Structure 1
Amino acid sequence: MDELESIRQRKMEELQKSLQGRQFPASPITLTDNDLDQSVSKYPLVVVDCWAQWCGPCRMLSPVIDELASELQGKVVFGKLNVDENKMTAVKFGITSIPAMLVFREGKLVDQIIGAVPKQSIMEKLQPYM
């Protein structure tokens, strides 16, 4: 093994170790006003489902979000933010109707998905960011 190959191998091992430390949850994480910024910066691609307990369409969308979190584990992290309990985030991002999903890439808001849209539509909307 020459020196270049040795360096390449060592760098690959370092990269794999660093990625192992970053666990991608297989189910949505619960987010709050206090931890939203930290959470969206921790992972490369985060989708925040803004919902409320009284919202029928939000409850219809919930199992879809759960499925996507499992299917896209390692690529996308899904979070749930109750807008009734976390009003600062709703105001900050101009959430006026729910369900609404905020798409963050590398900690920056890059897109929104408004309404109870089908699973396939969510997948299509996320594809350019993966």
Structure 2
Amino acid sequence: MAAITNFLSKPPLSLSNTPKLSPPCLHSSFLVPFVTKEVKPLAAKLGTGRTHFMTKATAAPGTKKPVNDEKVQKIHSVEEFDEALKTAKNKLVVVEYAASHSYHSSQIYPFMVELSRTCNDVDFLLVMADESGKTRELCKREKIEKVPHFSFYKSLEKIHEEKGITQDKLMGDVLYYGDNHSAVVQLHLREDVEKLIDDHKADHKLIVLDVGLKHCGPCVKVYPTVIKLSRQMSDTVVFARMNGDENDSCMQFLKDMDVVEVPTFLFIRDGKICGRYVGSGKGELIGEILRYQGVRVTY
């Protein structure tokens, strides 16, 4: 969990506050298996003038057909890179910096290709660092020293980067920073929260509000689970998300709700907070949601 410091001691508005609940003995696994995390130095290779190119993803052992990576744009120069970011506008852009000699670049790339097929609201780019002098120049400008390296951009601004990454972490980052395709309601102002609550007073649906911060590791970690649950429980539960550091209105809402650690999940029904869960445990979160739906959970 990540702590939020210097919060006001102001009590919540008309919504009641409850302490952190004990985690239930319920577990779930949604993410793909881990791959070994390792990064390779580029310094020894970028100046060699090697001409090996990765035009297609390297297939995993036992794979019969090559990976079709047509949705991943290959970048060969600074000019192409800048134009790709400009063309994307406010869409999330995920850039992988790889190298032909890097085993781990070849292992993570097919997974990025799979994401490119399902995440139509995200642009995926590939830069082969040792392809040419132009790509080495781009890596130097972007201060890329090891591969695989992933950078995330929105509106021409770099918002996140990972120097070494696993499949589940990459998937979590893409979902967290490029979420325009899930059933999770995105809240950007305090007024958005109030409207959401008013909209669901009549149907008495449980609202699960995921409160976090933009660059909070545990918030990113649990978010794929939130997306999965939002699709599976859409008939009975409304899932929403707010990043407290998005603007002053969001941060004030966190203070008013006495949120001091993230991620915090607020459970709201009929305009009142009926409970909260602080943490990123997938099983514990599922158990708390079920409990507030009236399902008996054994502790």
- State TM-score, norm by structure 2: 0.34
> Where do 5+ consecutive residues of structure 1 fail to align?
1-25
State which structure, 1 or 2, has the greater radius of gyration over its C-alpha atoms: 2
Aligned to 1:123: 286
Counterpart of 2:193?
A: 36
From 217, 228, 236, the counterpart of 1:75:
236
Which residue in the other structure is 1:47 paired with?
208
**AA in 2 matched with 1:88:** Q
1:54 alignment partner, SS class: coil
1:3 corresponds in structure 2 to none
2:218 & 2:210 partners in 1: Cα distance?
12
Residue type matched to 2:278 in 1? I
- CA shift, 1:49, in A, is 0.3
Instruction: Give distance in 1, aligned partners of 2:191 and 2:245.
Output: 14
Q: Residue 263 of structure 2 aligns to which amino acid in structure 1?
A: P
1:97-129 alpha-carbon deviations (Å, 9 max, x no partner) = 1011100011110011101112x3222212233
Secondary structure of the structure 1 residue equivalent to 2:252: helix
Structural RMSD (CA): 1.3
1:9 maps to which residue?
A: none
The aligned amino acid for 1:124 is: G
The residue that corresponds to 1:88 in the other structure is: 252
What whole-Å deviation, never above 9, does each CA across 1:14-65 have from its counterpart, x for those lacking one? xxxxxxxxxxxx6100112121012023222101000111100100011010
Structure 2 letter corresponding to 1:57: P
Q: Which amino acid aligns with 1:82?
A: N
**DSSP-derived class of the 1:34 partner:** helix
* Separation of aligned partners in 2, 1:91 and 1:61: 22
| CA distance in 1 between partners of 2:245 and 2:207 (Å) | 21
* Residues in 2 aligned to 1:124 and 1:54: alpha-carbon distance in whole angstroms: 26
- Distance in 1 (alpha carbons) for counterparts of 2:292 and 2:280: 20
- Tell me: CA distance 1:41–1:129, structure 2 relative to 1, closer, same or farther (3 Å): farther
Question: Which structure has greater helix proportion?
Answer: 1
- Contact 1:50 1:99 (C-alpha < 8 Å) held by counterparts: yes
What code does the residue aligned with 2:224 have? P
1:60 & 1:123 partners in 2: Cα distance? 15
Task: Give identity over the alignment, percent.
Answer: 23
Aligned length: 104
